[in-house]
Amino acid sequence: FAGYISQVLKNYTDHACDGEYVSLRCPHRTTISIQSSFYGRIVPSHQMCPSRYPHSYATLIKEDVACSVGTSLQKMLDECQDRRSCQFLVNSRLFGADPCPGTGKYLIVWYKCRPNEYKSKVACEDDKLRLSCKKSMVIAIYSAVFGRTQGGSLECPYQTLGMPMIECQSATALQLMIKRCHGKRSCSIYASTYEFGDPCYPGIRKHLNVIYTCDNTPFLLPVDETQPPALNSSMEPVGVSTEMALLSNILAAYAFIT
């Protein structure tokens, strides 16, 4: 279970040079959620993706190290979003007009693995958030945000009082939700600055948004064996009681993962 959850919580990064394949893959019962993407070049070729041209030819062309394509994120969303895996050959033709012909480029992708079935709950500031699962199922926290997001929340309309629409989020919200709720059948927590601290300027109304999934007892959750183990590979299979003891100490596991 810890291996499965560590793969879900992990932020993945993959990259490929021009002429290479980029390949993204998520564990069973999860799909790719693209977080960000970059295609172009911002470091010299001797640091990343060396030029394929002969050195004598490369010296005739001034390498552009301030080159980027604005369509890379949309392209990655089109190719990979909500799929379990995707693979394609990286080249400038995929992204439209080439902003720096003659300069070798590369693609970097940041993504997470989102559970196929998940729930979302919101609590306005100072309200109590309650999460629960059916009998024989436990909570697996995917993400948690406490603060104010650019899009706002329909459940918690902002009283702006002339304040600009800016984002502010607690850096410890996910860690706290894992400690409080992860691996339990039910839990509750107040969406308050007492619990999460105040990441925003005074007077900005905040909310807590948690995405989670309910799954069967831990030992039934699948782990993708093709992925490297998230914890010590020498660990032997353990019973349900030992798994739940591990979940009660999930902060230690989360610190290891990060």
The string of pLDDT tens digits covering residues 24-62 is: 998 877 889 898 999 999 988 888 888 765 554 544 457
% of residues, the chain, pLDDT over 90: 28
**In this predicted structure, what is the pLDDT of residue 8?**
58
Q: Mean pLDDT over residues 186-202, rounded? A: 91
Domains, the chain, ranges and CATH? 1-115 (2.60.120.740), 119-215 (2.60.120.740)
Q: Mean pLDDT over residues 184-192, rounded? A: 93
User: What number of residues does the chain have?
Assistant: 258
How sure is the predictor about 136, in pLDDT bands with cuts at 50, 70 and 90? confident
User: 25 vs 13, 48, 111, 112, 196, CA distance in Å?
Assistant: 11, 23, 10, 10, 33
> Of the ranges 1-5, 86-90, 176-180, 247-251, which one carries the lowest mean pLDDT score?
247-251
Q: Mean pLDDT over residues 92-101, rounded? A: 87
% of residues, the chain, pLDDT over 70: 71
Measure the CA–CA gap between 111 and 103, rounded to whole angstroms. 26
Residue 254 has pLDDT above 50, yes or no: no
Measure the CA–CA gap between 126 and 76, rounded to whole angstroms. 38
Q: Mean pLDDT over residues 192-214, rounded? A: 88
Half-sphere exposure for 140 (CA within 13 Å, toward CB): 23
**In this predicted structure, what is the pLDDT of residue 242?**
36
